[in-house]
């Protein structure tokens, strides 16, 4: 089995006014490469900070950043809804894990009873040979 090294995902920084801005990543922090979620070049991995810097100057990337700033309130609301969904899913998973544990215990108990019953029948069948 081979280990796959995934590139980091770029996230814009936030300035003092709460606006999303591009902050160029120093070359020493780009070890595995960086992908940008702006959608201009899907799955494109930028290997150096200079290539990524050029990417941040493209129209599509700038439009994406502008869109983030225009929809800040919507992203907050969406984030809160996603937190609620995650909590609900955690509760569902915990409940299902408990159900699975109970069912495994029942299966183990019934298997043990079945095994003991079969052993008793074998012993009694052997005793009938006299």
Residues 65 and 92 in one domain: no
Residues 78 and 118 in one domain: yes
59 three-class SS = helix
d(CA 44, CA 76): 28
Evaluate if residue 25 carries a pLDDT over 80.
Answer: no
- Higher pLDDT pick, 116 / 106: 106
d(CA 94, CA 102): 12
118 three-class SS = helix
Final residue of a structural domain among 34, 54, 70: 70
Residues 93 and 57 in one domain: no
34 three-class SS = strand
Residues 35 and 98 in one domain: no
Question: How does pLDDT run across 31-46, given as a tens digit for each residue?
Answer: 788 889 998 877 889 8
Evaluate if residue 96 carries a pLDDT over 70.
Answer: yes
Instruction: Answer whether 0.75 is exceeded by the pTM.
Output: no
Q: Which domain holds residue 101?
A: 72-130
Residues 55 and 101 in one domain: no
The neighbour count for residue 116, using CB atoms within 10 Å, is: 10
Counting Cα atoms < 13 Å in the Cβ hemisphere of 21 gives: 8
């Amino acid at each position: 089995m081979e280990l796959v090294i995934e590139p980091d995902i770029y996230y814009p920084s936030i300035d003092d006014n709460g606006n999303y801005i591009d902050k160029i990543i120093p070359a020493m922090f780009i070890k595995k490469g960086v992908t940008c979620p702006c959608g201009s070049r899907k799955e494109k991995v930028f290997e150096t900070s200079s290539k990524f810097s050029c990417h941040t100057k493209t129209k599509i990337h700038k439009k994406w950043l502008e869109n983030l700033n225009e929809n800040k309130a919507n992203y907050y609301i969406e984030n809160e809804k996603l937190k609620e969904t995650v909590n609900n899913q955690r509760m569902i998973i915990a409940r299902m894990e408990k159900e699975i544990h109970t069912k495994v215990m029942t299966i183990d108990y019934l298997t043990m009873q079945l095994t003991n019953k079969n052993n008793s029948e074998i012993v009694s069948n052997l005793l009938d040979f006299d």
